[in-house]
Structure 1
């Protein structure tokens, strides 16, 4: 019984928990996604990649192409902060000259 309890607790400690703001409108065709990850290995690059995937899927559902405007990211600091990333992006028509 003791080993089972320790195994369950160990899994909980090693698991990661991600959260997302979802896509937030910022203006005409401009949006933001913020994500964070609670984990022992809090790599902001992984969090940023997930935010980019979320943004890209959002634009594709509209038949548009994503263009990243700005990104910010911060690695996890043990017992202080989660790994974080934020991207600002536009969803543009494939022929929009702003894609070039």
Structure 2
């Protein structure tokens, strides 16, 4: 029982460390945003949608729109902090540009 309580405490501690750092500049005109679930039960689709929303908001503040260049997501079992995660790489382009 003590062993289970210890493992539960570690899992809760790791879950408390999960954060979404926001938009990060990765190059002269490229950015990345990442969203990670706080538990292993978060859905990838919802995390990806939130990350895309963050990218769109960031570009809209500059009077531009987001153009996604790459996406990735976590894989494997959601244990020991390997919670679902979606990453979006993007650039900001002029409105109406494709």
Higher strand share: 1
By how many angstroms is 1:32 displaced? 0.4
Inter-partner Cα distance in structure 1 for 2:84 and 2:23: 19
By how many angstroms is 1:27 displaced? 1.7
By how many angstroms is 1:93 displaced? 1.1
Inter-partner Cα distance in structure 2 for 1:77 and 1:42: 12
**Structure 1: runs of 5+ lacking an equivalent:** 1-12
With normalisation by structure 1, the TM-score equals 0.70
Greater Cα offset, 55-64 or 69-78: 69-78
Partner of 2:35: 35
By how many angstroms is 1:22 displaced? 1.1
Number of corresponding residues: 83
By how many angstroms is 1:29 displaced? 2.2
With normalisation by structure 2, the TM-score equals 0.71
In the TM superposition, structure 1's runs of 4+ consecutive aligned residues that sit over 4 Å from their partners are none
| 1:81-100 equivalences in 2 (<5 Å) | 81-96=82-97, 99=98
Alpha carbon RMSD of aligned pairs, Å?
Answer: 2.2
In our comparison, the structure showing a higher alpha carbon Rg is 1
